[in-house]
């Protein structure tokens, strides 16, 4: 273990932080981390020029956590991010690295969610605040002293913030903070506008610049699928029906996820096992040996547990959970395609993870093609093909050796050979669904969450979009917004925004239906136009809500 801790421990970070970092699977700090962490630990202001995917989140999160005082229940560090998705990603990273630091609390502050709980979390003493500039300014209008205790400020992807028009908001935030704060600015590019901010608000900053190395994984066939987070297990089961694999490793982020997915696979008859940091070394070796000799076909693992795993028969890698960075992705999929063999890697992507997919494509220099989940017909065809393959070798001389028995059984039972064969097939397949209608009932299609551009996909999507809305509640009007699932929108986001900005009681809002490219919301008919005027500037996930009365012509 001492050897594992060497790289990060050498940076003189608190042992609990180092332990949390190692638990995520990192062994050595990246270039941006090696250069930035000592500067930030020393209290200097800093300008870091680095692309997403270089490990820059940990480059500022680790030293800031080191400098946080958990005994002080007040905001001590503010991280500004241009989008809600990035804010959530950064907040999750802080929570991961602070897992072994009791008393440290992180709050994410962004538009499209109720303001009350966010402000309450800040006032209750969250030491780390990760925010989008627009929503944070909303909070400052309610409480101008909310940032007076912050002594560490990070501007993450500053160039993107300026592109999105947050310059005025940033100036408001700067003025609300102590002048003695430490300020760290990260940006992929350094245009004059960023340099101007640095000149006005940073004190003698140190400069760090990292060139991104392109990593290639050309020998492995890569693809991604868009799914919702709660549909991952059903998506994996659907994929396994049609993928022809020898052995497979499925990567997830948490120990509990390894157990849950492995159990779900075993319940469906797959030879699967979990591999995580809680498993003893001798048990780990047994799992790997079983995977090598065919007693196991699927291992569900975390990055840490899979370290050093080299099994030539692995033909597929499923990234069930998105890796933390592109380097982890490259390491994961490198488990297949060994020694010139063919390899296939599939990545499940939730709506809010599409940004990381783009980063992975940029860093690897390769497009990760999008595929659809197999439909019921594909599942049925795959099942019949497997059944045919398993029965073909048994036919041979079966009639010669068992023909007389067949005649006797059909006579004793009083049925035709066809009826008996069908009964034996049902028993042999354990009553598995083997008609199209039965497969559709058994496995309802998992809806994809983003628009499709391929012509062949349009009919199915159009069919979903044209579904008739649910019957309208009495005294309500149905309204439409152009924001939908492809924008990363969920019903709770729309509900929170309307409750917060419209001043309505929860029971005043009826059903909310989120589709791919739009959403429908039931609002009170009485006073509707006044309410829509009140909501006209409301933003959800960084985009204007623009609710309009829905005409069902």
Report if residue 449 sits inside a domain: no
In a domain, 422, yes or no: yes
Cα–Cα distance for residue pair 282/295, rounded to 1 Å: 17
Residues 268 and 150 in one domain: no
| pLDDT score for 436 | 74
| 102 plus 244 within the same structural domain | no
| 179 in the same domain as 47 | yes
Alpha helices, DSSP H, located in 124-184: 133-142, 158-163, 167-175
pLDDT of residue 68: 93
Same domain, residue pair 465 and 343: no
Say whether both 386 and 370 belong to one domain.
no
Can you tell me whether residue 186 is helix, strand or coil?
Answer: strand
Residues 229 and 346 in one domain: yes
The pLDDT value recorded for residue 205 is 94
pLDDT attached to residue 309 = 78
C-alpha distances in Å from residue 46, one per residue of 180, 181, 205, 368: 14, 12, 5, 34
Do 25 and 134 reside in the same domain of the chain? yes
* 251 and 358 fall within a common domain: yes
Last residue of a domain, one of 326, 359, 375: 375
Last residue of a domain, one of 181, 209, 237: 209
- The answer to whether position 261 is within a domain reads yes
Element (H, E) at 226: strand 220-226
Pairing label, strands 272-275, 298-301: parallel
Instruction: Answer yes or no: is 520 within a domain.
Output: yes
* Residue 81: C-alpha distances to residues 89, 300, 546 (Å): 10, 33, 24
60: CATH: 3.40.50.300
131 phi, psi to nearest 5 deg: -140, 155
Residues 279 and 194 in one domain: no
Residue 450 lies in a domain: no
Say how far apart CA 347 and CA 317 lie, in whole Å.
Answer: 8
> Tokens standing for 352?
């809010």
- Ranges of beta strands (E only) in 322-364 are 343-349
> CATH number, domain at 477?
3.30.70.330
> What's the pLDDT at 50?
79
Instruction: Let me know if residue 447 belongs to a domain.
Output: no
Number of domains in the chain: 4
Alpha-carbon distance of 256 to 18, in angstroms, equals 22
> What's the pLDDT score for residue 214?
54
Q: Do 13 and 86 reside in the same domain of the chain?
A: yes
User: Is residue 174 domain-resident?
Assistant: yes
Three-class secondary structure of residue 418 per DSSP:
helix
Q: What is the pLDDT tens value at each position of the chain, 553 positions in all?
A: 333 445 788 888 999 999 888 877 777 888 889 999 999 999 999 999 876 667 788 999 999 999 999 999 999 999 999 888 788 889 988 998 998 898 899 999 988 788 888 888 898 889 999 999 999 999 998 888 889 999 999 999 898 888 788 888 999 999 999 999 999 999 888 888 888 899 999 999 999 988 765 555 667 899 999 998 888 998 998 899 888 899 999 999 888 889 999 999 998 889 999 998 788 878 888 898 899 999 999 999 988 778 767 788 899 999 999 887 787 888 888 888 765 677 899 999 988 888 889 888 887 888 899 988 888 787 778 777 877 777 777 777 777 778 888 888 889 899 998 888 888 887 777 667 776 776 666 654 444 434 333 333 333 333 333 344 566 667 788 899 988 887 778 888 888 888 878 877 777 888 888 887 788 999 988 889 889 988 888 888 777 888 988 876 5
- Rounded to two decimals, what is the model's pTM? 0.54
Q: Say if residue 232 is in the same domain as residue 350.
A: yes
Q: Can you give the residue range of the structural domain that contains 119?
A: 2-209
Residue 522 CB-density burial (10 A; 0-12 exposed, 13-18 middle, 19+ buried): buried
pLDDT at 319: 95
Q: What is the pLDDT of residue 4?
A: 40
- Tokens (6 digits) for 444: 């309802």
- Where among 161, 183, 209 does a domain terminate? 209
What's the token pair of residue 431? 């009553």
The answer to the question of residue 448 being in a domain is no
**For the chain, the helix, strand and coil percentages under 3-state DSSP, each to the nearest 5:** 45, 15, 40
**What sections of 202-314 are H helices per DSSP?**
232-242, 255-267, 281-293
Q: Do 29 and 85 share a domain, yes or no?
A: yes
Enclosing H/E stretch for 81: none
String of DSSP letters for 167-220: HHHHHHHHHTS-TT-EEEEEES---HHHHHHHHHH-SS-EEEE-PPPP---TTE
């Amino acid at each position: 273990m001492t050897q594992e801790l060497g790289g990060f421990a050498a940076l003189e970070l608190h042992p609990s932080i180092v332990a949390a970092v190692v638990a995520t699977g990192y062994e050595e700090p990246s270039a941006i981390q090696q250069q930035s962490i000592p500067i930030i630990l020393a209290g200097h202001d800093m300008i870091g020029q680095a692309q997403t995917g270089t490990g820059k989140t940990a480059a500022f999160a680790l030293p800031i956590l080191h400098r946080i005082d958990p005994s002080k229940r007040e905001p001590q560090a503010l991280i500004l991010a241009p989008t809600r998705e990035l804010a959530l990603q950064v907040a999750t990273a802080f929570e991961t690295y602070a897992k072994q630091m009791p008393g440290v609390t992180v709050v994410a502050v962004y538009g499209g969610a109720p303001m009350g709980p966010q402000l309450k979390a800040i006032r209750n003493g969250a030491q780390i605040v990760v925010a989008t500039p627009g929503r944070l300014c909303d909070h400052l209008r309610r409480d101008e002293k909310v940032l007076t205790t912050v002594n560490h400020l990070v501007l993450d992807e500053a160039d993107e913030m300026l592109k999105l028009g947050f310059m005025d908001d940033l100036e408001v935030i700067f003025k609300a903070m102590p002048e003695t704060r430490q300020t760290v600015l990260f940006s992929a590019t350094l245009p004059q506008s960023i340099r101007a901010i640095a000149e006005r608000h940073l004190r003698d900053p140190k400069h760090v610049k990292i060139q991104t190395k392109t990593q290639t994984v050309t020998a492995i066939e890569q693809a991604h699928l868009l799914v919702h987070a709660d549909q991952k297990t059903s998506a994996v089961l659907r994929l396994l029906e049609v993928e022809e694999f020898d052995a497979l490793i499925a990567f997830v982020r948490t120990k509990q996820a390894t157990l849950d997915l492995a159990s779900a696979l075993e319940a469906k008859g797959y030879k699967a096992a979990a591999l995580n940091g809680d498993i003893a070394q001798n048990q780990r070796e047994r799992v790997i040996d079983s995977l090598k000799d065919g007693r196991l076909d699927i291992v569900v693992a975390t990055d840490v547990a899979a370290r050093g795993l080299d099994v030539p028969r692995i033909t597929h890698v499923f990234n069930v959970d998105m890796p933390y960075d592109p380097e982890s992705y490259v390491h994961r999929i490198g488990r297949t395609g060994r020694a010139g063999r063919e390899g296939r890697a599939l990545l499940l992507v939730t709506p809010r993870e599409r940004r990381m997919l783009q980063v992975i494509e940029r860093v690897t220099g390769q497009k990760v093609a999008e595929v659809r989940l197999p439909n019921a017909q594909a599942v049925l065809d795959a099942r019949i093909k497997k059944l045919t393959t398993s029965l073909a070798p048994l036919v041979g001389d079966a009639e010669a050796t068992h023909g007389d028995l067949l005649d006797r059984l059909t006579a004793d039972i009083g049925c035709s050979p066809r009826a008996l064969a069908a009964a034996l097939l049902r028993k042999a397949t354990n009553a598995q669904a083997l008609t199209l209608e039965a497969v559709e009932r058994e496995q309802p299609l998992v809806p994809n969450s983003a628009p499709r551009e391929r012509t062949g996909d349009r009919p199915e999507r159009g069919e979903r979009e044209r579904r008739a809305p649910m019957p309208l509640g009495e005294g309500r009007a149905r309204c439409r917004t152009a924001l939908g699932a492809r924008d990363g929108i969920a019903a709770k986001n729309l509900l929170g925004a309307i409750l917060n900005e419209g001043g309505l009681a929860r029971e005043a809002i009826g059903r909310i239906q989120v589709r791919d490219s739009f959403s429908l919301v039931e609002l009170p008919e009485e006073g509707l136009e006044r309410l829509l005027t009140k909501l006209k500037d409301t933003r959800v996930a960084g985009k204007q809500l623009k609710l309009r009365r829905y005409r069902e012509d």
